[in-house]
Amino acid sequence: MSIAQPAVTPIPSFRARLFTHPLLRIVLGVVAVMLPISLTLALIHALVPQPLRVVWPMPLAALLSFLSYRLFTTRIEKRLPTELAFPGAAREVGAGVGLGASLGLAVAGVLAVAGAFVITGSSAGWEFLIKCLPEQIMVATFEELMFRAVLFRIVEQRWGMRVALAVSFVLFALVHLQNDNISALAVLNTGVVSLTLCGAYMLTRRVWLPIGIHFGWNFLYDGVFAVPLSGHAARGWLQVSLPGPEWLTGGAYGVEASVLTLLVWGIATVLVLKRAQLHHLA
């Protein structure tokens, strides 16, 4: 009578174990997201004359970043990137843009009532709206791919939601330290914004909603209102004056350094994270 031999579980190779390590996957994922943008913009700047570098380079760089991230998931992580699934993407982006713009308008509205947000005029045309559109598409795309699809997702898988939220809070705030005129309140606000965007990712498990929120806020304060955005020089269609103390208006950094922004985004963070948790339990 033959004796059944116990099944032997194959030992993964060193290469397989190496490429499944979360820290290496984070590094490779960040490279996959950032490298196409850096190379694309550098090559276009070097090879394409200035008059021909209008609108299309930044959306192209964002598209290549998407494709590179997809290649990272299929080749390195050996899976299909469900976080990039297209069905319903337009609806989620639209909802995100509406939410991000609504948060921005809430801050501007309260500041206006307080006399600290005054529209003083408008630019000669709508060209500022078009000028900032491709840049904000690219910024929202690569930052959400990097901080939500790569960093938050992988850390959450390995160490859990709370650690992932804490890491995202800290690192998203740290990368903005190089911005001009940044303050302690601006750093805190940036971290809180990251929590809202992580909650939006948790709610859908896709990148479209946080991309929309990110874009909606940035486009409002970079294209519509000429207000400094994260310390960058103001440019926009409607010229705005921000009279009042810096703790209220944000000063030269923009409203992202305002205590009112902390309040508005803090409320949004609590609501989105709570809804994401309830959605997970349902």
| Assessment of whether the complete model's pTM goes beyond 0.95 | no
The C-alpha atoms of residue 120 and residue 23 are separated, in whole angstroms, by 49
47, part of any domain: no
What's the pLDDT score for residue 66? 97
User: For the segment 157-207, what is each residue's pLDDT rounded down to a tens digit?
Assistant: 999 999 999 999 999 999 999 999 999 999 999 999 999 999 999 999 999
28, part of any domain: no
176, part of any domain: yes
37, part of any domain: no
> How many domains, in total, are found in the chain?
1
48, part of any domain: no
231, part of any domain: yes
Q: Is the pLDDT of residue 65 over 70?
A: yes
Provide the token pair at 191.
């971290």
What's the pLDDT score for residue 234? 86
User: For the segment 117-165, what is each residue's pLDDT rounded down to a tens digit?
Assistant: 999 998 766 777 788 899 999 999 999 999 999 999 999 999 999 999 9
What's the pLDDT score for residue 236? 86
156, part of any domain: yes
Domain that holds residue 140: 83-281
**Average model confidence (pLDDT) across the chain:** 92
237, part of any domain: yes
